[in-house]
Amino acid sequence: MVTKEQVIEALRDVHDPEVHRSIVELDMVKSVEIEGTHVTVEVLLTIRGCPLSNVIEKEVNDRLSKLAGVDEVTVKIGHMSDEERAAFAAKVRGGSAAGANPQQAQLPPLLQEGGPRHFLAVASGKGGVGKSTVTANLAVALARQGVRVALIDADIYGFSIPAIFGVQERKPTMIDELIIPVEANGVKLISMQFFVPKDTPVVWRGPMLGKMLRNFFAQVVWGDVDVVLLDLPPGTGDMALDIHTLLPNSKQLIVTTPQSAASEVAVRAGLMGVRTNHEVIGVVENMAYYQCEACGEPAYIFGRGGGERVAKQLNTDLLAEIPIANLSEQTSGVFDANSIQGVQFDKLAIRVRESLGLTSQELRA
pLDDT digit string (tens) for 59-86? 999 999 989 989 999 999 988 887 887 7
Task: For the full predicted model, state whether its pTM sits above 0.75.
Answer: yes
pLDDT digit string (tens) for 226-247? 999 999 887 655 666 677 677 7
Cα–Cα–Cα angle for 180, 148, 111, rounded to 5 degrees: 65
109-364 maps to which CATH number?
3.40.50.300
CATH superfamily of 4-80: Fe-S cluster assembly (FSCA) (3.30.300.130)
Task: Please count the other Cβ atoms lying within 10 Å of the Cβ belonging to residue 350.
Answer: 16
Distance of CA 275 to the CA centre of its chain: 27
How far apart are the C-alpha atoms of 22 and 281, rounded to whole Å? 37
Domain boundaries, the chain: 4-80, 109-364
pLDDT digit string (tens) for 114-163? 667 799 999 887 888 999 999 999 999 999 999 999 999 988 777 889 99
Q: Which of 112-126, 201-215, 329-343 has the lowest mean pLDDT?
A: 201-215
Residue 18 one-letter amino acid: E
Question: Is residue 89 pLDDT above 90, yes or no?
Answer: no
How far apart are the C-alpha atoms of 72 and 75, rounded to whole Å? 10
Question: Is residue 205 pLDDT above 60, yes or no?
Answer: no
